[in-house]
């Protein structure tokens, strides 16, 4: 029942936040309490787990005549992503404390419901329930961008919705087809994994699933929604997009690719690696040319998601481990950068690298935080990003040295955009008329949490790899031909 509690807490919390809005910031405290309770339940599940593979499972035959069950399970990978979602939910509340003043109840309800739907994605193993949560997370996310965004927020929200909703039909169609082709009608992923489908069937079903996953991962040419959504969303929306929503695509491919379509994944893996290499270089090179700091970080997200795609497609132990670690590492670093850029925009009403600079002169905590997370963006040793990307590159060398070199070349490109971000914001001459006040205690606390995650995993990667290892071993695919 703890897994049901993980799903219900954000739903109920969102309703309460909406109802109590306007009473001494009650909606903000209710939202924080909701995510804190989720963390307590999650820790209780992990600590009380009977075995290392699955910490908890729940199976209820909801519509047995159609093979639909509420099949939930959580392992180390799911637990890490659920934990990240809850922590980022709390950080989103602190980041938007001053920014959001209108319809605050609905805003915090949407935060709760977005996180709740992503938790459903991370723990569902019935494909129809998984598809339900996949589509459900679009509605509150769309609302966050459309109501509290900036500039052409409605256009950005519509593009986000259309891309992801249309791609979701590929996932739904493949789930229906898979259930129909099975020995008996079922959407249970564990049962489907035991059945033998021909390689062509696996390839077609995988392509249907991958359409949804690639759009969410924002792999070129499916990325057109991401720059506008990231740039025009409120700070909390950008944090959730980078830290949680993008990871649902990576998680889906990591979890269901090897599990349901091992032969199909092997057949298309070379194309996945090639697509990831092209996308990583594209994202990195386009990021180098951006003057809007938020847009620059958005394009770096494309590059890092493509590194994850290369790791999953390679299908060997090091690459899969690197992809799993990079999912978590990118959540820390990208969320922190969006948090800092949002705080800077609140103070200066600008994100233009040509108009800012000199933060180290009057906002040392701001400057130090930017420097740390730019180092993570660069994947410097000692950061979690280094651990993830290094493992992916090592795994790629075991499979194909050409694409391993391509992955390494993206690290060279990252030097350019990270240096440009540092030079435009932290160093150089201050171009603003008035000094920017430093991080508040609330902002500083949020940054410290993300910095602790980045450095802990960076300095002691085994602390995360040990948690993820059972899921990594389960995802091990046959070697590429």
Using DSSP, state whether 308 is helix, strand or coil: helix
Can you give the pLDDT at residue 151?
Answer: 82
Least confident of 301-315, 370-384, 464-478: 464-478
What's the CA gap between 7 and 169, in Å, rounded?
23
What's the CA gap between 97 and 111, in Å, rounded?
13
Q: Does residue 480 register a pLDDT over 70?
A: no
Can you give the pLDDT at residue 224?
Answer: 87
Give the orientation angle of helix 246-260 with respect to helix 293-314, to 10 degrees: 10
What's the CA gap between 388 and 144, in Å, rounded?
30
Q: What is the pLDDT of residues 312-352, one digit of tens each?
A: 999 899 999 999 999 999 999 999 999 999 998 888 888 88
Q: Does residue 292 register a pLDDT over 80?
A: yes
Contacts of 357 (CB under 8 A, 6+ apart): 423, 424, 425, 426, 427, 428, 429, 430, 431
336, two tokens:
């922190």
Can you give the pLDDT at residue 41?
Answer: 95
Average pLDDT over residues 72-83: 94
Which helix (H) or strand (E) is 242 found in, with range?
none
Q: What is the pLDDT of residues 384-413, one digit of tens each?
A: 999 999 999 999 999 888 888 888 888 888
Q: What is the pLDDT of residues 15-61, one digit of tens each?
A: 999 999 877 788 999 999 999 999 999 999 998 877 778 899 999 88
Can you give the pLDDT at residue 433?
Answer: 61
Can you give the pLDDT at residue 434?
Answer: 62
Are the C-beta atoms of residues 423 and 408 closer than 8 Å to each other?
A: no
Q: What is the pLDDT of residues 119-168, one digit of tens each?
A: 999 999 999 999 999 999 999 999 999 999 888 888 899 999 999 988 88
Can you give the pLDDT at residue 481?
Answer: 41
Q: How big is the chain by its Cα radius of gyration, in Å?
A: 21
CA angle 151, 157, 159 (to 5 degrees): 110
Which residues, listed in sequence order, are joined to residue 188 by a DSSP beta bridge?
Answer: 126
Are the C-beta atoms of residues 296 and 420 closer than 8 Å to each other?
A: yes
Judged on CB neighbours under 10 Å (0-12, 13-18, 19+), 194 is exposed
Give the orientation angle of helix 26-47 with respect to helix 76-95, to 10 degrees: 160
Can you give the pLDDT at residue 479?
Answer: 44
Q: What is the pLDDT of residues 228-272, one digit of tens each?
A: 888 888 999 999 999 999 999 999 999 999 999 988 988 999 999
What's the CA gap between 108 and 377, in Å, rounded?
29
């Amino acid at each position: 029942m703890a897994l049901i509690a993980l799903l219900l807490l954000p739903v109920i919390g969102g309703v309460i936040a909406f109802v109590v809005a306007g009473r001494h910031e009650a909606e903000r405290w209710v939202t924080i309490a909701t995510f804190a309770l989720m963390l307590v339940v999650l820790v209780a599940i992990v600590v009380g787990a009977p075995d290392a593979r699955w910490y908890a499972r729940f199976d209820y035959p909801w519509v047995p005549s159609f093979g639909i069950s509420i099949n939930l399970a959580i392992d180390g990978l799911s637990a890490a992503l659920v934990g990240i979602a809850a922590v980022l939910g709390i950080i989103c509340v602190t980041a938007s404390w001053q920014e959001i003043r209108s319809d605050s109840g609905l805003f915090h309800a949407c935060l709760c419901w977005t996180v709740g739907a992503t938790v459903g994605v991370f723990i569902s193993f019935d494909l129809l329930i998984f598809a339900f949560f996949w589509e459900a997370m679009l509605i509150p996310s769309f609302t966050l961008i459309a109501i509290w965004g900036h500039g052409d927020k409605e256009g950005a929200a519509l593009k986000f919705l259309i891309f992801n909703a249309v791609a979701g039909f590929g996932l739904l169609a493949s789930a229906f087809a898979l259930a129909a082709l099975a020995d008996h009608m079922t959407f249970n992923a564990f049962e489907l994994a035991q059945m033998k489908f021909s390689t062509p069937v696996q390839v077609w079903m995988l392509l249907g699933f991958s359409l949804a996953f690639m759009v969410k991962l924002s792999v070129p040419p499916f990325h057109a929604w991401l720059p506008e959504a990231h740039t025009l969303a409120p700070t909390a929306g950008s944090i959730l997009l980078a830290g949680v929503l993008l990871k649902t695509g990576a998680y889906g491919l990591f979890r269901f690719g090897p599990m349901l379509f091992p032969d199909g994944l092997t057949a298309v893996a070379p194309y996945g690696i090639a697509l990831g290499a092209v996308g990583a270089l594209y994202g990195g090179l386009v990021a180098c040319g951006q003057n809007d700091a938020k847009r620059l970080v958005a394009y770096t997200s494309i590059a890092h998601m493509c590194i994850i795609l290369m790791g999953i497609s390679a299908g060997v132990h090091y690459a899969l481990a690197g992809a799993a670690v990079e999912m978590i590492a990118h959540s820390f670093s990208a969320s922190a950068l969006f948090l800092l850029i949002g705080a800077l925009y609140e103070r200066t009403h600008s994100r233009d690298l040509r108009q800012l600079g000199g933060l180290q002169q009057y906002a040392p905590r701001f400057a130090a935080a930017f420097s740390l997370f730019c180092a993570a963006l660069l994947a410097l040793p000692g950061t979690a990003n280094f651990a993830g990307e290094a493992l992916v590159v090592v795994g790629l060398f075991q499979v194909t040295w050409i694409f391993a070199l391509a992955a390494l070349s993206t690290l060279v490109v990252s030097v350019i955009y990270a240096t440009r971000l540092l030079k435009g914001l932290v160093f150089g001459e201050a171009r603003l008329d008035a000094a920017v006040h430093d991080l508040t205690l609330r902002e500083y606390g949020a940054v410290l949490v993300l910095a602790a995650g980045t450095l802990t995993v960076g300095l002691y990667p085994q602390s995360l790899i040990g948690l993820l290892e059972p899921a990594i071993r389960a995802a091990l695919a046959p070697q590429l031909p």
